[in-house]
Structure 1
Amino acid sequence: MKKSIYQYKRLMGALVLFFLSACEPFLEVDVPNDRITGETVFSDDATAREAMNGVYIQLFNTAFAAGGNQSVSFLGGLSAATYTVTNTVPEMEAFAAHQLEATNSLNLALWSGAYNTIYMCNDMLEGVANNSNLSLETREALEGESRFIRAFTYFYLTNLYGEVPLVTQTTYTNNALKARSPQTEVYELILDDLDQAAALVDTGYPDNERTRTNRFTVLALLARVHLYLEDWEQAETYSSEVLAATHLYELPDDLNTVFLANSPEALWQISPEGWGGSFSHTRDGNLLIRITPTASPVSLSETLIAHVEAGDLRRDNWIGSLATSNETYHYPYKYKIQYEATGANYTEYSMVMRLAEQYLIRAEARTRQGKQEAAVADLNVIRERAGLEPLVYNQALTQEQLLDEVMQQRYHELFSEWGHRWLDLKRTGRAQEVLEGLQEIDLLYPIPEAELVKNPNLTQNAGY
């Protein structure tokens, strides 16, 4: 897009974020009176839609979603031994060594960033509800998008922390002393939000920018949620509907194009316009690409490097290396731009959800239901794009063997993305088997100490 368009969006986004965003940590904040500002923002369709744009822009700056060193992608990667810490950063090393403490500031930023995102979604939902200034089309679209982002955020909160407070409004007095809710209740909210969102949002992307939610984005998350809930039939149904949308989505043959802006594989991306005009690179690329020995605090673990099959094109295209006289560092190279200061012409967006995951969800769901031949077909889509020989189906192929192959392809396909490896190991009961030194109490992150001090109704996870 042209720079002038981005400048306009940034200006509008900055205006609406004045009242949408809250200071961290979220549960502590007594939100200022924003009635006048809120009435202005939701006074017509155009400003209300720009308010929603502001939420998407803010995701690039919110710790849990941004792709930086406080994000789900990075901290989950440390927990799953995807990364080895190469610089002395004790709070990162604590994630990698499974020695987290409730005072860890990276953990607090992750938690607070998620709840600030939920606050913005709740504010949007309150702003559009029964608002006679807005058209029905705008109210439905913004409600659906806000519900999706809230569900997405709660999905990560409950999978990282277990029981968490369910905050569904912006009133401080109702939020400050919230106790944790059982995971069953959290998932009930997630599913309710997603079911409503699927009925409200459009099937296309506004302005052909894949930085907004559409119906297939919602269905893709429904597929993932049902997979985690072991509802295999529903997981297969939702992923199949996404995979059938061939007019919108396909797997590019060239692996180097997967993470480009508006890639045909992208279900949802976050634009670097959240930098505010100075830079056009992603935070993921900036953090992880190692152009000098000290450019990144981590490298890809030797376990991952050794695990990738010979001839796998993902190693050639998605793993970079830097050789020094003493050592060779490997790093994720899914994003190719480490630093770009033009502030326009964004060529890479941070990938949040993509089509390859849907093939892997359906492959696992089909395997769990005994549909081995169909599962093999899905796995071969991923294998063949990676330059690997297709699996040959035969009746001697066991469910356990196929599930191992699903997990291997998830490992190699989704490494460094949104904590997939960490959550996969946990949900399949393999974490303690695979990760050295991991204890059962380490499967959940601690509730931040700062939140416990402020809220006497919060309880801590076992072992912290």
Structure 2
Amino acid sequence: MKKILKYIGCVVCLLAFTNCADFLDREPTDALAKEKVWTSDTYALNAVNGLYRVSTLALQGYGFRFSSWGPDGFNYFYSSSMETGIATPSEGYFLDFYTNWYNMIRVANEVIYNLDGNENITADLRDRLIGEARFFRGMGYFLLWHFFGDVVLRDKPLPVNETNLPKTPADQILSFCRKDFEAARDILPVSHSDGDWGRITKGAAITMLGKTYLYNKEWGKAADELKKLLSIPYTYDLVQNYADLFNWKTEKNNEVVYSLQYVGVTDYGSPYDAWYGSRSNNSYGGAECVASYVTMSNYTYKDGSPINFSAMPKRSSYEDETSYGIDLMNWYEGLLASANLDKRMAANIIMPTSSFLGKDNTQFKLYWPYSAYADREEEPYALRLEFSSYALLPWRKLVNVGSDNEKASPTDFPLIRFADVLLMYAEAINESEGPTDEVYKAVKRVRNRAGLDPLPNGMSQKQMQRAIRLERLREFPGEGHLLLDVRRWELADTSDPVFGLNNDVLDFRGEKLFTRVFPKKYYQWPIPQADLEINKAIEQNPLWVE
């Protein structure tokens, strides 16, 4: 169980570093002058612990924002400009990601610069801390490369008046982040002791290095890196129960390669409880991102056969919403009664007619229409969303249940997990060699955990490609990866019925909510207007010039 964390008072480069996980449970120190931070093992360790906190803040929107904008979910009712194709360089979300990733890079640069060759710090610890900092710096540049393309490269601390540099070409940014991941891979240990569980390991660096090759379509190199994690000395494996990945009581397991860590303490809890939760849970969540109809409708039965959503009652056949809702709920109840459904559907989504243990340990249920059940005086009460007048699918994953942890949710966000390694490895092999036995075996492990039969033999390379992509949709909804996937597959700007982002978005009745638009210029985000006004050495990305 996680310990209550203590605040670290040490300050590096005007940044107050704070604890964020088990391994950061250290005695607090008094505020330190910058020159003293790097004079002892304890101070240096606390400073790098602060980098973990900075990185958590920089990366925690990964799942929420990217799932809102990907095929797996949406955020239309809160901020529609991105989803309807009218975003501008002045949007706050572009600036937030840009500045947060650069802030992570800035702090990592401070760590690397001050530890490199520093004889005040024990050599093994010094090298390990540098490896951790290089991982985070590599992560920052990987994300900047993927979303923005050409960006400014800062590889060391710089005075403020020297930070206005020209852009570096995207291929050089990619090369730079790879060197960071390679260095981290070569320095970091395979695993840590229980007291340091959650620190960056060799496996996390290998995964990210393999991902850089995968995203750049260098399939053979991607497969070579990812394959390393499938055998000793690595002991990664899938947890037996998929839902355990998103339960704070069982989140420490062999599937997690790296997670953003949280504790049930005010200001240190997971924001996903509010972003994904409903008004019926402790956090009084806003369900700011909800699951998409595309995600729900692409789950299958055990044998791989699709769910027949065309048999669902149609709103047009009824005079009023209440009578329609009765038949619709009966249909969903019958669907969920099947023992042969993909187990991940109910673990990821609070489905219509499903129950949820909410605040005060009270049972709630997703009814339709909400207005017909809002005044129920006995359990299960009607599950309430911020926009309950719409037929929306709230997430179950990453949301705290019952009355535990009333101050904050301690549920970690698994940013890198072994299921992703398996499916990326399968993708890399299939793209380079076709659907070999290795591809089938890797995908089978993921499907088996979901209660599904293996894929049929004799699939073509294109059929396997589609199967792997669909498996990623079913495995990772709400975790942010799908937006990056459809961008790298170059499907985002299409009307592909599953992965295209130029389609109508439907509610759980199958009725249109809005039309999503992904212009081609979205493949390369704009440099935020605020940075253009400060740094005159850079120019706006061409498709965003008005």
- TM range, smaller chain: 0.7 to 0.9
1:427 is the counterpart of 2:488: yes
The 1-side partners of 2:76 and 2:87 are apart by 18
The 1-side partners of 2:269 and 2:230 are apart by 29
- Are the counterparts in 2 of residues 272 and 279 from structure 1 also a CA contact under 8 Å? no
1:384 is the counterpart of 2:379: no
Instruction: Decide whether aligned partners of structure 1 residues 125 and 403 sit closer, same or farther in structure 2, where only a CA change above 3 A counts.
Output: same
TM-score, scaled to structure 2:
0.74
Secondary structure of the structure 2 residue equivalent to 1:269:
strand
The one-letter code matched in structure 2 to 1:329 is L
Secondary structure of the structure 2 residue equivalent to 1:267:
strand
- Are the counterparts in 2 of residues 19 and 37 from structure 1 also a CA contact under 8 Å? no
What are the superposed Cα offsets for residues 345-389 of structure 1, whole Å, 9 maximum, x if unpaired?
A: x75212111000000011011101224122111111111111111
Secondary structure of the structure 2 residue equivalent to 1:432:
coil
- Are the counterparts in 1 of residues 112 and 130 from structure 2 also a CA contact under 8 Å? yes
The one-letter code matched in structure 1 to 2:483 is W
The 2-side partners of 1:86 and 1:263 are apart by 35
The one-letter code matched in structure 1 to 2:501 is L
Larger C-alpha radius of gyration, 1 or 2? 2
Give 1:432 deviation, angstroms.
Answer: 1.6
- Are the counterparts in 1 of residues 13 and 34 from structure 2 also a CA contact under 8 Å? no
Gaps spanning 5+ residues in structure 1: where? Answer: 23-34
Secondary structure of the structure 2 residue equivalent to 1:272:
coil
Instruction: Decide whether aligned partners of structure 1 residues 319 and 234 sit closer, same or farther in structure 2, where only a CA change above 3 A counts.
Output: same
1:303 is the counterpart of 2:298: no
The 2-side partners of 1:119 and 1:46 are apart by 21
Identity of aligned residues (%): 21
Which residue of structure 2 lines up, in the alignment, with residue 244 of structure 1? 231
Matches within 5 A, 1:134-145: 134-145=121-132
The 2-side partners of 1:82 and 1:392 are apart by 25
The 1-side partners of 2:158 and 2:13 are apart by 17
Give 1:333 deviation, angstroms.
Answer: 2.0
What are the superposed Cα offsets for residues 110-136 of structure 1, whole Å, 9 maximum, x if unpaired?
A: 111111110110010111011110111
1:11 is the counterpart of 2:26: no
1:82 is the counterpart of 2:72: yes
TM-score, scaled to structure 1:
0.86
Which residue of structure 2 lines up, in the alignment, with residue 161 of structure 1? 148
- Are the counterparts in 2 of residues 223 and 239 from structure 1 also a CA contact under 8 Å? yes
Matches within 5 A, 1:141-290: 141-173=128-160, 175-245=162-232, 248-259=235-246, 260=248, 261-273=251-263, 277-278=265-266, 281-290=269-278
Which residue of structure 1 lines up, in the alignment, with residue 336 of structure 2? none
1:60 is the counterpart of 2:56: yes
Q: What is the CA RMSD across the aligned residues, in angstroms?
A: 2.5
The 1-side partners of 2:197 and 2:13 are apart by 25
The 1-side partners of 2:405 and 2:128 are apart by 34
Which residue of structure 1 lines up, in the alignment, with residue 475 of structure 2? 413
Which residue of structure 2 lines up, in the alignment, with residue 48 of structure 1? 44
Give 1:285 deviation, angstroms.
Answer: 2.8
- Aligned to 2:525, which of 433, 441, 445? 445
Instruction: Decide whether aligned partners of structure 1 residues 348 and 341 sit closer, same or farther in structure 2, where only a CA change above 3 A counts.
Output: closer
- Are the counterparts in 2 of residues 282 and 349 from structure 1 also a CA contact under 8 Å? yes
The one-letter code matched in structure 2 to 1:100 is A
Secondary structure of the structure 1 residue equivalent to 2:393:
strand
Which residue of structure 2 lines up, in the alignment, with residue 72 of structure 1? 62
What are the superposed Cα offsets for residues 236-291 of structure 1, whole Å, 9 maximum, x if unpaired?
A: 12111112247632101111111343222100112124x8x426642123211224
Secondary structure of the structure 2 residue equivalent to 1:369:
helix
The 1-side partners of 2:529 and 2:448 are apart by 47
Give 1:337 deviation, angstroms.
Answer: 0.9
More helix as a share of residues = 1
Instruction: Decide whether aligned partners of structure 1 residues 175 and 184 sit closer, same or farther in structure 2, where only a CA change above 3 A counts.
Output: farther
The 2-side partners of 1:17 and 1:387 are apart by 49
Q: Which moved more, 1:258-267 or 1:384-393?
A: 258-267
Secondary structure of the structure 2 residue equivalent to 1:60:
helix
Give 1:407 deviation, angstroms.
Answer: 0.8
The 2-side partners of 1:272 and 1:340 are apart by 14
The one-letter code matched in structure 2 to 1:369 is S
1:332 is the counterpart of 2:395: yes
- Are the counterparts in 2 of residues 60 and 270 from structure 1 also a CA contact under 8 Å? yes
The 1-side partners of 2:10 and 2:422 are apart by 40
- Are the counterparts in 1 of residues 148 and 526 from structure 2 also a CA contact under 8 Å? yes
The 2-side partners of 1:206 and 1:270 are apart by 18
1:454 is the counterpart of 2:517: no
Secondary structure of the structure 2 residue equivalent to 1:352:
strand
What are the superposed Cα offsets for residues 17-72 of structure 1, whole Å, 9 maximum, x if unpaired?
A: 574469xxxxxxxxxxxx9722211111121111111111223333xx12xxxx23
Matched residue count: 432
- Are the counterparts in 1 of residues 73 and 290 from structure 2 also a CA contact under 8 Å? yes
